[in-house]
Structure 1
């Protein structure tokens, strides 16, 4: 008679223990889920090597993955919203100009010379829109990490020569000399194609804001970990309070508002360089010119 009673008591104790055990585990799981929903830091200090601790740990990892995915999704939506906003803002002016030129071209009283002029202006505005679209999408893909760089140690002089070639015709129109000072070629870690774009954007600004018959000097300054590529012009200069602002997306100084430009070039340059572990700085004096310094990592391995 005693044995059945003991068995029943043992079963009841086991059931009670299982109930309390499951209640404790479910309580901890419920607490963690509540913390996640209320956006508090998910914490659990139990690090014992038990099955329930492993379950709790797996749940935490699952919730962290879900949180990361939610944040990524939010960032992507914000990126798309910003891109659409940027596009509508930047395309408004050239689109309005094209509409106006098309209306003018409908006028029968235009001479052949005037007609050719407005056709040329329409083409220029269309080219500006195309460049804007390409630059914005390129910027967006760089920011989101869709474009990945495969930088490798390669000689920098050819990269500099290609960037000079990209702005040569613009410099020639203003009779501006671009001079690469005598220096030893160096192997630097960079992606040639993208670095050409970064340097040519800086050179294009130098040409745009320099007077006719002036000179732009490019020099290499070897350093311990980096090599500095220095681009010095004799242009209008930049106020010191704008040194950091000029690398922001779409920033344009008040003193250059009347000149053609989008404010994307320098932003794109610093974005490209940072993706390669490099960076760019500026030093300038108003009315004296500007000095942009591009830093790229030295090849410390290849003999």
Structure 2
């Protein structure tokens, strides 16, 4: 009986060692398969009825389908880029001519009703020009035709440049622009595109803040991000709208009569995301809004 028990223990140990070795071989094979898949050099090597062979076959089908989807996506992006280029090229000259002839008409001695028509013609042509430019920018960002190159830069310089562009429009409307005190904060962002994103936030605040209102821009550095707040005393947003204002072409029902196409905040969000940051909004209807742009630190 003693020898039988010893033999049973040895047999159990042998089975255990065999199972461990087989498991190690299987894991090594799976590890090799994943490495080959990552490198794009995966080729099935097992052609039997084992589970490993079935896994290889399914992985091969998945990689083939992924490759086909990636190729189709690249083709679709190329078509969109070509379409965007065509739209930009084909509409630039007609819109410029509309504005030119409208300007020539405005210089003529026209009756008051005709002068009003010329003013409307100019305004609509400018709106169309802005819409086409915004659509082109959005399309290029989405398809990767425009690349954002973040680098360490001064947040103060970014804010100052955006405020300089917004000051004339704010002054014309009678809205006060309060700049933050000088700060040495730095973050990683593409200066050109991030200035456009911040400019869109400030322009949006100016647009929806009534005359006599105030817009305050402030900078708060954190450990991982630098936050730029654009706080206004404008009309504000309903709670259910805060999650929708960054959608493409979204316009609040309260501002349908205002100029705009609903792309400014969408573009700002896309640019922030391309920089590795994000935008949040806090607002109360009738009390104003605060849009916060978060930029990653170096």
TM-score by length of 1: 0.68
Partner of 2:258: 259
Q: Partners in 1 of 2:289 and 2:262 — Cα distance?
A: 17
Partner of 1:24: none
Deviation per CA, 1:109-133, whole angstroms, max 9, x where unpaired?
Answer: x953333332222112111111111
Deviation per CA, 1:251-281, whole angstroms, max 9, x where unpaired?
Answer: 0011111111100000000001100001100
CA contact (8 A) 1:183 1:220 kept: no
Q: Partners in 1 of 2:270 and 2:242 — Cα distance?
A: 16
Where does 1:176-195 land on structure 2 (aligned, <5 Å)? 176-195=175-194
Partner of 1:66: 68
Q: Partners in 1 of 2:217 and 2:225 — Cα distance?
A: 16
Partner of 1:297: 296
Q: Residue 178 and residue 57 in structure 1: after superposition, are their counterparts in 2 closer, same or farther (change >3 A)?
A: same
How big is the shift at 1:218?
0.6
Where does 1:44-83 land on structure 2 (aligned, <5 Å)? 46=46, 64-74=66-76
Q: Partners in 2 of 1:47 and 1:218 — Cα distance?
A: 66
Query: Secondary structure of 2:282's match?
Result: strand
Partner of 1:12: none
CA contact (8 A) 1:183 1:219 kept: no
Where does 1:128-167 land on structure 2 (aligned, <5 Å)? 128-167=127-166
Partner of 1:115: 114
Deviates more, 1:58-67 or 1:239-248: 58-67
Structure 2 residue 210 is the aligned partner of structure 1 residue 211:
yes
Query: Secondary structure of 1:246's match?
Result: coil
Query: Secondary structure of 1:252's match?
Result: coil
Q: Partners in 1 of 2:169 and 2:272 — Cα distance?
A: 24
How big is the shift at 1:214?
1.3
CA contact (8 A) 2:44 2:60 kept: no
CA contact (8 A) 2:158 2:195 kept: yes
| Gap runs ≥5 in structure 2 | 1-42
Q: Partners in 1 of 2:293 and 2:59 — Cα distance?
A: 46
Q: Partners in 1 of 2:78 and 2:243 — Cα distance?
A: 26
Alpha-carbon RMSD: 3.5
Q: Residue 188 and residue 117 in structure 1: after superposition, are their counterparts in 2 closer, same or farther (change >3 A)?
A: same
Q: Partners in 1 of 2:47 and 2:273 — Cα distance?
A: 40
| Gap runs ≥5 in structure 1 | 1-42
How big is the shift at 1:228?
0.6
Q: Partners in 2 of 1:139 and 1:183 — Cα distance?
A: 32
CA contact (8 A) 2:186 2:226 kept: no
CA contact (8 A) 2:248 2:262 kept: yes
Q: Partners in 2 of 1:293 and 1:211 — Cα distance?
A: 21
Query: Secondary structure of 2:245's match?
Result: helix
Query: Secondary structure of 1:245's match?
Result: coil
CA contact (8 A) 1:176 1:207 kept: yes
How big is the shift at 1:207?
0.5
Q: Partners in 1 of 2:272 and 2:65 — Cα distance?
A: 35
Query: Secondary structure of 2:178's match?
Result: strand
Q: Partners in 2 of 1:275 and 1:176 — Cα distance?
A: 31
Partner of 1:170: 169
TM-score by length of 2: 0.69
How big is the shift at 1:66?
2.9
CA contact (8 A) 1:155 1:186 kept: yes
Partner of 2:234: 235
Q: Partners in 1 of 2:225 and 2:277 — Cα distance?
A: 8
Query: Secondary structure of 1:263's match?
Result: coil
